[in-house]
Amino acid sequence: MSLNRLGSNSRQLSGRGPRSESMGRPLQPSPSQGSTDVDDSTSTDSYQWTIDQNKQILAQLKQENKDLKQELSRRPSTSTRETGRSQSDKTVEKMEKAVHVLRRQYDKIMQEKKTTLSKLSNLQDSMRDMMKATSGSGSTPSNTRPSSAVDSAAAVLTGPASREVRMMENKLEKAALKANEAQSIQRTYEQVIQRMRQEQLSAELHNRAVQESLRAIIKEQERLVILEKEVQHSKDTATQELMAFEEKLESDRLQRERHLNEQRGQAALMQQANAALLKRQYPSLSTDDDGSGEGASTNAWVSGDVTTSDAVASSAMRSGVIVSGSDQGGSIEDPLSKEVHDPASAVRALCRLTGTSSVTGMLGALLPQQASSINLKQMQALAEQQLLQLQAEMELEKSHLEDLHSGKRLTTQSQLDSAQLELKEALQVADDARVRHDEVLKCHAAVIAGLDHLAAMVTTLPAPTGQPPVPLSLSDPDQAVEVVAQCEQRLIKAYKFILSIPKASQILEELSSNPDLDFSFTASASLK
């Protein structure tokens, strides 16, 4: 390193240390030879002392570096013992520890830089004093040794002291480079920590959303399993009901057949009783005429569509017809057949046949037979109606049974297909809802991060009067509104305060119109 560079570096430094001043005072030029020797010995001692001090400082720096390395080697072992924390918290803590260590290293390097600069300043001051002493010794008498001071200065510049100075300057440059590198590493770690915090927030929100979606899917799966069990149970129940209905239908059919048989037996018994009654009331008729008369009388009484007098007349006319029919057969002759020419003669003939002497007696004998025939007709109509109803119900049940037999499996399969289709649609809807929910959570995380950044930026501004600072909470959405409102109030208050400063509006307009301007320059120019 040249003397010019040392001189320029010494001019850039401000002030001298007490050691340099004490070293500079004995190096004043003197006319005597003894004073020159004293100066040489004093300068040699001072340089030797400086070299010893530098060696001690270098040993201290080496020891500190060794201690720092040992501490750094011990730190990972202590961090691995930490349990119960999440991976993101451990990573953030490691980054913070690394930033702390780098900051300490940076502080030590800056302290070393300051110490080295002070030592360099002392050495340059001492060298400058030596150069002054050398230049002063040039005007001494001829009997003195003028080259002794120059030789000592040259020896100092080319000796171990100069090498030590160069070594210290090299170390200073390396320390400055390390300091710059440490600053860049510190900024990188800070950015990494900030990014990891943001990613941790978004990852927690995404994890929470995924867990909620998983719980919803599990609930939907459980609901579908229950629905499938219900469908299977309904199928089994329908099968059992079908079998029970078939059994009931068969038992009802047998019971109705028994009932019809009973009614038919009763109808036949009543017809036989009616025929026997007619035979007992009309004993004068022959066996053949009784058979034909019983059928005609039974049909007449069963018809039940004529009145009592018409029934009497028609009975009399039928008696005449029967008698005439018998006459045509030539088997029996009825002596009353010639007398039945009109209703009055028919009534008289019926009175003789019934063995009564008056119409009232004849009607008293015929009316019970007419009531019995009406009852028989009503019973027969009712039986026919019940038979038709039973046949219709039987046809309906047969068609229902055939439908059940043919469509049982198809209906169950269609129900399962429809349930699977509904399940597929529900899963699709759930997936769409989950995607939209994830997007909403991402937007929410971005909004919360922006609010956090805004709140951090306006923290230095004074809070509104009587209102404490509102913390930002993720669980309470109303607090986000309160945080935004408080930030707005702080900004409004700061803006009003800025406007109260003279020419503040002009400064703000100039800065807003040209953001590249220096604030201090613009403010000083506006105030002038």
CA atoms within 13 A on the CB side of 412: 16
Domain boundary among 128, 158, 188: 158
Smallest CA-to-CA distance from 43 within 167, 153, 157 is with 153
Q: What is the pLDDT of residues 177-207, one digit of tens each?
A: 888 888 888 888 888 888 888 888 888 888 8
pLDDT value at position 369?
65
Question: Is pLDDT above 70 for 499?
Answer: yes
The span from the CA of 117 to the CA of 123, in Å, is 10
406-416 residue pLDDT tens: 655 445 566 67
The answer to whether position 192 is within a domain reads no
Instruction: Give the residue from 106, 127, 158 where a domain finishes.
Output: 158
**pLDDT cut 70: percent of the chain above it:** 60
Share of the chain above pLDDT 90, in %: 1
Residue 91 or 283, more confident: 91
The single-letter code of the amino acid at 28 is: Q
How much is the pLDDT for 354?
67
CA distance 418 to 189: 58
DSSP code of 84?
Answer: S
pLDDT band at 158 (very low <50, low <70, confident <90, very high): low
Domain contains 37: yes
Higher pLDDT, 288 or 519: 519
CB-based contacts of 8-17 (< 8 A; 24+ apart in sequence): 9/120, 9/124, 10/121, 10/124, 10/125, 10/127, 10/128, 13/117, 13/121, 13/124, 16/121, 16/122, 16/125, 17/118, 17/121, 17/122, 17/125
Closest listed residue to residue 315, CA positions, set 276, 273, 369, 271: 369
- Residue 109 confidence (pLDDT): 83
User: Please, is 23 exposed, middle or buried when counting C-beta atoms within 10 Å of its C-beta (0-12, 13-18, 19+)?
Assistant: buried
Q: Is 393 or 343 the better-scoring residue by pLDDT? A: 393
User: pLDDT band at 260, cuts 50/70/90?
Assistant: confident
Q: Report whether 275 contacts 369 (CB < 8 A).
A: no
Per-residue pLDDT at 474 exceeds 80: no
The DSSP secondary structure of 225-264, one letter per residue, reads: HHHHHHHHHHHHHHHHHHHHHHHHHHHHHHHHHHHHHHHH
Q: What does the buried/exposed string (b/e) look like for 73-111 if buried means 16 or more CB atoms within 10 Å of the residue's CB?
A: eeeeeeeeeeeeeeeeeeebebbeebbeebeebbebbee
pLDDT at 286: 40
> What tens digit of pLDDT does each residue of 374-392 get?
777 787 788 888 888 888 8
Range of the domain at 105: 3-137+147-158
**What is the Cα–Cα distance from 304 to 300, expressed in whole angstroms?**
7
Residue 59 domain flag = yes
Beta carbons of 318 and 293 less than 8 angstroms apart: yes
pLDDT of 72 strictly over 60: yes
Domain count, the chain: 2
In this predicted model, which residue has the larger pLDDT, 223 or 309?
223
What integer is the mean pLDDT of 128-132? 79
State residue 283's pLDDT score. Answer: 61
Stretch (H or E) spanning 143: none
Task: Judge whether 239 lies within some domain.
Answer: no
The amino acid that residue 319 corresponds to is S
> What is the predicted pLDDT for the residue at 412?
59
Mean pLDDT for the stretch of residues 511-528? 60
Give the pLDDT of residue 521. 58
- pLDDT one-digit tens code per residue, 317-375: 444 433 333 333 334 344 444 455 566 666 677 677 666 777 677 677 667 666 666 77
- 64, pLDDT greater than 50: yes
**How confident is residue 175, by pLDDT bands cut at 50, 70 and 90?**
confident
DSSP letter assigned to residue 459: T
Average pLDDT of the segment spanning 165-175: 82
Q: Would you say residue 492 has pLDDT above 50?
A: yes
Asked whether residue 75 is assigned to any structural domain, the reply reads: yes
User: pLDDT value at position 441?
Assistant: 81
Residues 91-101: what's their mean pLDDT?
A: 79
Give the integer Cα–Cα distance in Å for 490 and 497: 10
pLDDT value at residue 434:
85
The CA distances from residue 29 to 40, 126, 350, in Å, are 11, 14, 193
3-state secondary structure of 515: coil
Q: Judge whether residue 405 has pLDDT over 60.
A: yes
- With respect to residue 447, please indicate whether it lies within any of the assigned structural domains: no
Burial class (CB in 10 A: 0-12, 13-18, 19+), 389: exposed
* Residue, of 84 and 281, whose pLDDT is higher: 281
- Residue with the two structure tokens 């993720």: 474
Distance of CA 431 to the CA centre of its chain: 10
pLDDT at site 299: 42
Handedness of CA 4, 9, 11, 15 (dihedral sign): negative
Q: Return the minimum-mean-pLDDT range out of 206-215, 219-228, 443-452.
A: 443-452
Instruction: Return phi, psi of residue 115, to 5°.
Output: -60, -45
Calculate the average pLDDT of the chain.
Answer: 69
Using a CB cutoff of 8 Å and minimum separation of 24, what contacts does 228-237 make?
Answer: 228/419, 231/415, 231/416, 231/419, 235/412
Q: What are phi and psi of 32, to 5 degrees?
A: -95, 155
In a domain, 50, yes or no: yes
Residue 323 lies in a domain: no
Among residues 290, 379, 359, the alpha carbon closest in space to that of 331 is found at: 290
pLDDT digits (tens, 9 = 90+) for 428-458: 888 888 888 888 888 878 887 887 777 787 7
**Torsion (CA) 98, 101, 105, 107 in degrees, nearest 10:** 110
Of 129, 158, 187, the residue that ends a domain is: 158
Residue 98 corresponds to which amino acid?
A
Q: Which residue has the higher pLDDT, 95 or 27?
A: 95
